[in-house]
Structure 1
C-alpha cells in the first residue's frame, strides 16, 4: 500500500513539476541567451559587465522571487479546505505585497546604480555595467507582478499556461536582444543596453498575457470576485511574515554567488567572464531543480489542507527523489560535455581555459544544490520559514563566502578556491534542511 501511494505521489509530483521546470528553464534561458548573444556579438568585456550587473540585479530581486513562492502552497491549502472567498482575498492582497516589493526593491536598485563604483570593478566594467544594471532593475517590476499571478495558477495545479507564456517570452527576448544590440530597420544599435531593454519588453508581455488569461478562464473566476477585494492588513502581515524570511533564504544564497562575482572581478576580467559562464550553467540546472521544490511545496500545502500527515511525508520524499535523480543526471552531463557547453558561449581561449575547472566543480555540487532547493520548498509548504532562513544564512555567509575567500586569496587557489567555498556552503545547507524537514514533518502540523 505504501509503495503504491509513493508511486502515485511520484507521478503527481512529476506531472505538476514538469511544466514548472520548463517555465523555470525558460526564465533562466533568458539570462543564458543574453549572455550567449552578448558574448558572441560584443565579446568578453561586455559579457563580464552584463554578468555582474545581472548578478546584482537578481540579488536585489531575489527577496521578491523567493518571497512570492510562499503563496502557491497557501493557495493549494485553501483549495483543499474549499475556502473560495479567502482565495480572492489572498489574490488581491498578494498583488499589494507585489507592489510593496516592487517599490522597495526598485528604490534599492536605484541607490546601487548611483553608487555602482562601490563594487570595485574596473573602469570599463563599470562604464558598461551601470546603465545595463539600471534597465534590468526596471524590468524586475513586471517580473514581480508576473510571479504574483503565477503563484495562483501554480497553486491551482495549472502551471502549463505559465510554461507556454514563458517560452513565448523567451523567443521574444532573444529576437529583441539581437535586434536591439546590433540595430535593424527602424531600431537603433544600442549595444549592451539593448539586451536589457529587450528584457523589459519581454517581461511586460509575459505579465500582460498571464493576467489576461486568468481573467478569461472560469477556473480562476473566484480570484476576481471583487466583493472580496479588500485591503486586509492582517492578511498582508501574514504574507509578509512568510515571504520576507523566504525571500531572504533566496537572498543569502544568491548573495553568496553574487559576491563571488565581485571577488572574481578582483582577480581578472578573464576569471569574471569564466565565472559567468559556469554560473549560468549551474543556475540553469538549479532553476530546473526549483521546479521540483515548487511542486513539492504545493503538494505538501494540499496535504496539509487535507490534514494528511502521511501525504506530507510522501510529497517530501517524492520531491527529494526526483531532484536527486535529475541533478545526478545533470552532473554526469556537465562532466562529459563541459568543454562543448563552454564553446556555446565564447571562443576566447583564455576564458575557455579558466571556465572548465569551474564547471567541473559545479558538476560536483549539483546534488547538494538540488537537495537544498527542495529542502526550502518542502519546508515552505509547511509554512516553516524562520529556521530554514537561519540555516541558509549560516551556510552561505558564515561558511561559503569566508571559505571561498580563504581558498581563493590567502591560499592562492584563485577562482577555483572561491567555488570550493560555494560547494561547502551548499552541502551544509542541503544536509541541515533535510534534517529539518524530517523533524517538522513528524510533528503535529494538522
Structure 2
C-alpha cells in the first residue's frame, strides 16, 4: 500500500489540488439543498408535509434536469483536451457552443418537468401534498435555464483549471440563499410567510445571482483573455454543438438512470407512509452531500484524463484515472465512518421524533454504501475524460434498473423489510455499478488508440 501511494504521489497531489475547489463548489450546491431541507424541516406547522412535497418536487426536477447538467459537464474534459493541444480558439468555441446547448437543454427539460408535474397522480403519492408539491416545482423550474447557463460557464473555467471561480461564487450564493430562506420561509420583516415556496424563491434568486457573477468574471477579469480573443471558427460551431450533444446526452442518461432509481426509492417510501418518505428525504440529503463531493473528484479526474488524451499519453491517462479512484475511495471511506458513528446526530435536526428514528436507521445504510458510491461516481467521470459514454450508460441501466429497483421492491415489500430493504437494494445497485464501471475504464484505456 505504501508503494502504491508513493508511485501515485505526484498524480494524487495534482488531482487533489484541482479537485478541492470543485468539491467545495459541489458541496456548496448540495448544502444549498440541505439548508432548504433543514430550514423547511423546522417549520412549526406542516414540516412533515413540506419535506415530503420537497422530496417529490426535487425528485422530478433532479431526475429530468440531471441529463442537462451532466451533458454540460462533458465540456470540461473537452476544454482540457483543447488546452493541451494549444487550440485556444476551440476552447472559446466550446464555451459559446455549450451556452447554446444550455439554453436548448434548459427549454427541453423545463417542458418535461412541467408535463410530469401536471400528471403526478401516476406516482400514487399522498394526495394532501400534491398542491404544495406543484407550487414548489413551478418555482424551481423557472431557474432551470439560469442554472444550466451557469453550469456551461463553470465547465469552461473548470476545464482551464480555474476551479476556484465557480467555488467562490457558489459559496456566496449559499450565504445569500440562507438569508433569503430565513426571511421568505418564516415571514420575517416585511415578507409574507411562504413556507416551502419561500425556499423555492430563495433558490431561484441565488441561481440567477450565480449566473450573473460567473459571466461578469469570465468576460471582465482578464484571466481568460487569451481564449476569448482567439479567432472563432464559426463554421465549426454547429458540428461542435452536435458533438457535445452526441457525447453529453448518453452521459446525461447515466445520471438519469441512477437518480431515477433513487427517486423510485422515494416513491416506494411513500407507499409505506409519509413519515418514511420524510425520513428518506432527510437521509438522502446527507448521502447526496458526500456523493456530490465525489463527483468533484470525478470532474477533476476527467479533466486530467482529458489532458492525457490531448497529449496522447497512455501512462498519463492511466495514472490520472487511478489517482482519482484512490482519492474517491479514501474520501468516501472517511464519510462512511462518520455516518456510521454519528447517524443519530445527523438525523436530529428534524422536530418529528418518528422521522428522526427512521432517518437514523437509513443513514447507517448510507454509510455502508459510501465506498461503492464513490468508486462508481469517479469511474463515470474518468470515462467521460476519454469520451466513453455509450457502454457505461448501458452499465448504469443494468445496475440501477436490472439490479437495484427490483431488489428494492422485493426486499422492501415481498420480504417486508420496508425502508431497510429498499436501502439494501440501493446498496447492491451501487456495488454492481462500481465494479463494472471501474473495470470498463481500465479495459478501455488498455485498448484505445492514441
> TM-score, normalised on structure 1?
0.97
Aligned partner of 2:125 in structure 1 is: 121
| Distance change (3 Å), C-alpha of 1:2 and 1:113 | closer
Cα distance in 1, alignment partners of residues 418 and 327 from structure 2: 34
- 1:385-404 to structure 2, matched below 5 A, reads 385-404=389-408
Aligned partner of 2:359 in structure 1 is: 355
Which one of 175, 178, 185 corresponds to residue 174 of structure 1?
178
- 8 Å CA contact 2:283–2:366 kept in 1: the answer is yes
Aligned partner of 1:164 in structure 2 is: 168
- 8 Å CA contact 2:346–2:360 kept in 1: the answer is no
Aligned partner of 1:206 in structure 2 is: 210
Q: Which moved more, 1:430-439 or 1:88-97?
A: 88-97
How far does the alpha carbon of each residue in 1:61-95 deviate from its partner, in whole angstroms, 9 at most, with x for none?
A: 10011111110000000000001111121111111
Cα distance in 2, alignment partners of residues 125 and 368 from structure 1: 34
Aligned partner of 1:288 in structure 2 is: 293
Aligned partner of 2:387 in structure 1 is: 383
Aligned partner of 2:255 in structure 1 is: 250
1:437 equivalent to 2:434? Answer no
Cα distance in 2, alignment partners of residues 250 and 349 from structure 1: 33
Q: Which moved more, 1:292-301 or 1:172-181?
A: 172-181
Give the length in aligned residue pairs: 445
Deviation of 1:109 (Å): 1.0
Deviation of 1:355 (Å): 1.3
Aligned partner of 2:114 in structure 1 is: 110
- 8 Å CA contact 1:91–1:223 kept in 2: the answer is no
Tell me the SS of whatever aligns to 2:268.
Answer: helix
Cα distance in 2, alignment partners of residues 409 and 435 from structure 1: 33
Give ranges in structure 1 of 5+ residues lacking alignment.
none
Aligned partner of 1:22 in structure 2 is: 24
Cα distance in 1, alignment partners of residues 230 and 23 from structure 2: 32
1:34 equivalent to 2:39? Answer no
Which one of 86, 100, 103 corresponds to residue 90 of structure 2?
86
1:310 equivalent to 2:312? Answer no
Cα distance in 1, alignment partners of residues 30 and 314 from structure 2: 34
Deviation of 1:178 (Å): 1.4
Aligned partner of 1:298 in structure 2 is: 303
Which one of 323, 330, 341 corresponds to residue 335 of structure 2?
330
Aligned partner of 1:53 in structure 2 is: 57
Aligned partner of 2:269 in structure 1 is: 264
- 8 Å CA contact 2:89–2:233 kept in 1: the answer is no
Deviation of 1:365 (Å): 0.4
1:197 equivalent to 2:201? Answer yes
Cα distance in 2, alignment partners of residues 14 and 362 from structure 1: 24
Q: Which moved more, 1:3-12 or 1:203-212?
A: 3-12
Q: Which moved more, 1:217-226 or 1:82-91?
A: 217-226
- 8 Å CA contact 2:89–2:230 kept in 1: the answer is no
How far does the alpha carbon of each residue in 1:145-172 deviate from its partner, in whole angstroms, 9 at most, with x for none?
A: 1000000110010111111100001111
Tell me the SS of whatever aligns to 2:447.
Answer: coil
- 8 Å CA contact 2:343–2:361 kept in 1: the answer is no
| Distance change (3 Å), C-alpha of 1:364 and 1:2 | closer
Deviation of 1:223 (Å): 4.4
Tell me the SS of whatever aligns to 2:251.
Answer: helix
Deviation of 1:121 (Å): 1.2
How far does the alpha carbon of each residue in 1:202-228 deviate from its partner, in whole angstroms, 9 at most, with x for none?
A: 000001100100001323124434851
Deviation of 1:127 (Å): 2.1
How far does the alpha carbon of each residue in 1:257-291 deviate from its partner, in whole angstroms, 9 at most, with x for none?
A: 11111111111011001100111111000000111
Cα distance in 1, alignment partners of residues 229 and 99 from structure 2: 15
| Distance change (3 Å), C-alpha of 1:113 and 1:229 | farther
Deviation of 1:348 (Å): 1.3
Cα distance in 1, alignment partners of residues 272 and 292 from structure 2: 28
RMSD: 1.5
Cα distance in 2, alignment partners of residues 122 and 20 from structure 1: 38
- 8 Å CA contact 2:173–2:209 kept in 1: the answer is yes
Which one of 132, 138, 141 corresponds to residue 137 of structure 1?
141
Aligned partner of 1:72 in structure 2 is: 76
Cα distance in 1, alignment partners of residues 231 and 205 from structure 2: 33
Deviation of 1:187 (Å): 2.1
Cα distance in 2, alignment partners of residues 401 and 2 from structure 1: 37
Cα distance in 2, alignment partners of residues 2 and 268 from structure 1: 48
Tell me the SS of whatever aligns to 1:228.
Answer: coil
| Distance change (3 Å), C-alpha of 1:119 and 1:222 | farther
Cα distance in 2, alignment partners of residues 55 and 364 from structure 1: 23
- 8 Å CA contact 1:50–1:129 kept in 2: the answer is yes
